[in-house]
C-alpha cells in the first residue's frame, strides 16, 4: 500500500507533459498502439485502471504484439 501511495504522489508531482510521456512509454512497453480505444467511447479513470489491472493478470494480453 505504501508503494502505491508513493507512486501516486510521484505521478501527481509530474507536469502534464511528463505524465503524457510516461503514459505513452508504458503503452509502448505493453504493445498498446496509440488510438487503440473504441471510437466514440469515453473512458473514466476507474475504468482505465481496471483495464490495466486486468491486462496485468494475463501475460498473453501484454505480449499480443510480439505474437502477431
Per-residue tens of pLDDT for the chain, all 68 residues: 788 888 888 888 888 888 888 888 988 888 888 776 667 777 777 878 887 788 777 777 665 554 44
Residue with cell 510516461: 22
Q: Do 31 and 66 form a contact (C-beta atoms < 8 A)?
A: yes
Looking at residue 66, what is its pLDDT?
47
- Which cell is 33 given? 498502439
Count the domains in the chain. 1
d(CA 51, CA 21): 20
Enclosing domain of residue 23:
2-67
Output the pTM of the full model: 0.46
Cβ atoms < 10 Å from Cβ of 30: 15
Amino acid at each position: 500500500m505504501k508503494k502505491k501511495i508513493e507512486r501516486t504522489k510521484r505521478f501527481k508531482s509530474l507536469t502534464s507533459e511528463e505524465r503524457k510521456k510516461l503514459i505513452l512509454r508504458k503503452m509502448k512497453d505493453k504493445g498498446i498502439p496509440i488510438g487503440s480505444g473504441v471510437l466514440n467511447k469515453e473512458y473514466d479513470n476507474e475504468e482505465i485502471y481496471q483495464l490495466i489491472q486486468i491486462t496485468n493478470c494475463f501475460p498473453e494480453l501484454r505480449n499480443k504484439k510480439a505474437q502477431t
